[in-house]
Amino acid sequence: MNDDKIVELYLLRNEKAIKATAYKYGKYCYSIAYGILENREDAEECVNEAYLNTWNCIPPQRPKLLRTFIGKITRNLSLKLYEKRSAEKRGGGQAALCLEELAECIPANSDGGRIADDIAIKQLLNGFLEGLPTDMRRVFVRRYWYMSSVAEIADMYGFTHSKVATLLHRGRKKLKALLEKEGIEI
């Protein structure tokens, strides 16, 4: 079933929308959640909650790209659960490493929230990603959106560990330079 039909089912409040979403995007959402949480039960919980949140968001929203819409919901839920879990115990894993790496080039705003939630920063980040060479963009997104390990990225694209690490380092340097050029303090 295509995305327009699935969204139409949500708009009609037809529960088949959730089944169709799970069938089409379940593995995709699970891979996002598991990449952040590194725990099967927690990942499954976030995916199920993402279906519920999607149900509650459509309507009033009508996403143009359902995959991106549910992927973002899954990622945000997974990050919230990760933060909660990390607050309860000192957690490690890929999410902690990714967030630590990005801390050198993405500042937190004054009220402690996420600077990336600011619309101007989102536009700047999208432009930054569009301007990266293809390999660097793929690696950067795989690491900092999906929170894949360097080894997973190397295997996925047939790169060496060193090449992935270098691409990530150069990408972070470019991002930091762009943010500084735009007057965003780090």
What pLDDT is recorded for position 42? 94
What pLDDT is recorded for position 115? 46
What pLDDT is recorded for position 119? 65
> For 94, how many CA atoms within 13 A lie in the half-sphere containing its CB?
21
What pLDDT is recorded for position 146? 85
At 174, list the tokens. Answer: 């470019």
Averages of pLDDT over each 10 residues, the chain, 186 residues: 95 96 96 92 96 94 93 92 72 67 62 52 85 95 88 94 94 89 74
Query: Structure pTM?
Result: 0.66
Question: How many CB atoms are located within 10 Å of the residue 11 CB?
Answer: 14
What pLDDT is recorded for position 122? 76
What pLDDT is recorded for position 101? 75
| Domains of the chain listed by start with CATH number | 3-89 (1.10.1740), 96-181 (1.10.10.10)
What pLDDT is recorded for position 138? 95
What pLDDT is recorded for position 98? 74
